[in-house]
Structures are given as C-alpha cells and as structure tokens.
Amino acid sequence: MDGEPPSRPPPRVNTAAGVEHLSQADLRVETHQVVTAEGTVEASRVPDLTDAQFRDLYRWLVLQRTFDERATKLQRRGQLGTYASGRGQEASIVGSAFALADDDWIFPAGREAAALLMHGVSMRDLLLYWRGVEDASRMEGANVFGVAIAIGSQMPMVTGKAWGMQLAGDDAVAVGYFGDGATSTGAFHEGVNFAGVLGVPAVFYCQNNQYAISLPFSEQTAADTVAQKALAYGVDGVRVDGNDVLAVYNAMSTARARARDGRPVLVESVTYRRGAHTTSDDPTRYREEEEVESWAARDPVDRYRTFLADRDLLDDVDEAAVREEVDEMFDEAVAAADDYPHRDVDEMFVHLYEEPTPELARQMEWYRDFLDDHPEMDEYVHQRERG
C-alpha cells in the first residue's frame, strides 16, 4: 500500500443526516387567467377598462392576425425576405403591449407586429424590415430597439437600457420580448441576473409558444415553467395564460408597476405558435396536426369575441369594417414600401453606429473600390434593391 493514495469509501447516503434539498416539484406556480378556453369569466379579475378600450383590444387582435396573413402571402409572392408570424399568439402580443406607456422601451424578437405598431412603428417600416432594408431597423419615431434575430441577444441591453433610464430619473420601463428558447441562452441569464442585482425597471416578457424553433419546450429545458427561473435571480416571476388577452393585460400591468418600483419581473406567457417559426420553416416535420388542432380550440381571438358578446359589446364591433380598414392600411404600407428609394451599398455601413468608426469607413471605401474594379458584381448587389 506504500506510495498509493488512500482510498475513500464507496458513496453511501446517510438518510439520518437530514440533508434537505430544493425541488421544483415542491414549487407551485399558478397560471393567471380571466377568461377560460370554455368562456367562463372570473369577474373579479376583469381589468378596469372602458367599453371603448375593450373594443379596441379586439381591433388590435384582428389587426395582428390580418397583418400576419397578409405578410405571409406577401413573402410567398417573393416580396418579403422572410416573415415570422404571430398566429396563435395574438392575445399574448396585444395584451402585453396594451399595458405599456408610450415612454416605455420595447426590445422585440420579431413576432410582435401589433406591439410595434401600437408603439409607433409605421407599417411601412415593418414591411421594409422584413425586406432586409437596414434603414428600417432604426425603428424611427418609436421607442423600439432593433429586432433581435440572434436569440436572446437583447436581454443584457434590456437591463442596460432600464438602468440608464433609472439613472436619468425616467418614469418608464424597458420590456424585452423573447421566446422560450431564449431562456436557454447565456444572454438571458446574464440580463436577468444583472437586472435583479441592480433593481432596474425591466420586464422580461417570454412568449412560451412551446417551441424553440423546432425543439419542443420539454427538450430544451428541464424546468417545469419559465416563470420559476426568475427566483434564481431574485426577481419576481409571473405565469399567465397567453391566449387570454385580459389575463395578459393584467399580468403586464402588474409587472410594469413593480418594475417601476425597481423590482424587475419575468413574465411567462403560455401560448402556442400555430404557424411556422418563419416562412423558411416547415413545422409538419416536427409536430403533429392533432397538437395544432388542440390549441386551435383555445384560439385567443375566438375566446375574446365570446367575452365581448357576453358583455353585449360585440354588436358595436363591425368586424368586416375592421378587416377592411386593416387591409387598406396594409395596401398603403406595401405601396409606400415599394416607393422606398433604391438602396446603396453604403447602407450596410452607415447604420451600424451613430458615427461610423475609422475601420468601418475603411471597409466601405474598400468595398466601393472593389465594385468599381468588378462591375459585374453589380448584378448581385442590386438584385434585391428594395429588399
């Protein structure tokens, strides 16, 4: 035995030691709901909105759905590069944005058309964005950050913006939109952790639509819920039925109020993406039609229509007129996007920073010289001059 390390005994569990452990099985996470899928209403939870506001909510739900339908068709005709539809998530998108103030900042993930339009982005610029026009990423005239295509990458910026607003004494919050897949990225954990440490006015709004692109929720995390992840960082968590627009409004209103008091909140909106991840995706390869149909039975627009009818508010809604109005707005936006000036190669460089860096200026000059020396490349550069 000389010269050999001492052996240790084989692992054994001393059950008498009384070691306690934390388990998510001991954690009860409620899902806030106002209107059930069957139409039953918890009257005490109905938000204090006017009849006009209740009807306006419905208009926005119809707008989100109509915009998704029209934009998807536009992409199929080759007039958009790609598109991420919010079909099935209308209540989650509209209810959350309806609870925000104009001074709040939104950090989008791409599926929230109605939220961005509600917050001041023009429909033309939204279409230009999906055409790949860099200028549209400025979201000019609205407190909206550029769409975070890299999953979860906006989370630290949500915290940074919220911290900046706090230091400036602004009475507003920063809201990050993202999907359940983003909660498995490092940027998500860094952003939420730092928000908890600093106590900034930030709301992290997760639309748990059950799929991280093609991976089901149960295969990308072992957590039972997204909301419970908040506790690890000392922030509050809320779980809400994302197909119930009134419940989502309640959840976001509450989260916003707490965030303004320096208590950041992680909201999990449980919903379902009934369409593809983007128009480049084929969801029939990774999910069953029965599953899609089961969520269709919980359709957020139908559910809210039932609520309005029970309150005798639906008679005052001319749904055909709403759809006609949205169609007309969409047609005008497409025409305005078509009239957007021809793009130039400079656009790739000038919008990256407020003031181009010397290195960017050098790259732009090199690229211009390259095109001058290789005029045959113009065919490739300008083949999609409007996106």
How remote is the C-alpha of 186 from its chain's centroid? 18
Q: Which long-range contacts (CB under 8 A, 24 or more apart) does 36-41 make?
A: 36/244, 37/243, 37/297, 37/298, 37/303, 39/303, 39/306, 39/307, 39/310, 41/307, 41/310
**Do the Cβ atoms of 98 and 118 come closer than 8 Å?**
yes
CA 116/CA 97 separation, integer angstroms: 8
Instruction: Give me the active site residues, please.
Output: 273, 277, 286
Report DSSP letters for 199-240, one per residue.
T-SEEEEEEE-SEETTEEHHHH---S-SGGGGGGGT-EEEEE
